[in-house]
Amino acid sequence: MSKKNRTGIVYSTNPDFAFQSDDQPEAVTLPPAQQNLKIWLVKLGGNKLVTAVRDFVGSDADLSDLGKQLKAACGSGGSVKDGEILLQGDHRDRVLTWLTTKGYKAKKAGGN
């Protein structure tokens, strides 16, 4: 028996009933020239500096791939969560030059 996570629907007597899923369609990834990425410097607990890349429009898989490439380019650890790329340390200049050479529209944000 497969569980399709159909919450709220148990049985319907309507012969024309069609289940409507609440799943959102996967976002279409914009080409690099149409992306408007913002590069932030964030201070986390314990005075740790983190470079955050925000405002990526696209699928989670493409965001994860971009995060892997940025981590490799900076030689740093990091993660991809909540729609943003987090890199350990202050790598704003390196991330900005890497993104612009790859054709992304990016700029520093946050006034630091």
Q: Considering the entire predicted model, what is its pTM?
A: 0.75
Does any domain span residue 18?
no
Does any domain span residue 71?
yes
Does any domain span residue 16?
no
Does any domain span residue 98?
yes
Does any domain span residue 12?
no
Does any domain span residue 76?
yes
What CATH number has the domain bearing residue 47?
3.30.780.10
What confidence tens digit (pLDDT) does each residue in 84-106 have?
A: 999 999 999 999 999 999 999 99
What confidence tens digit (pLDDT) does each residue in 75-87 have?
A: 999 999 999 999 9
Does any domain span residue 21?
no
Residue 65 contacts residue 80 (beta carbons within 8 Å): no
What confidence tens digit (pLDDT) does each residue in 7-36 have?
A: 666 677 888 877 776 666 667 888 999 999
Tokens 């309507």 sit at which residue?
A: 14
- 101 phi, psi to nearest 5 deg: -70, -25
Domain carrying residue 43: 32-108
Number of domains in the chain: 1
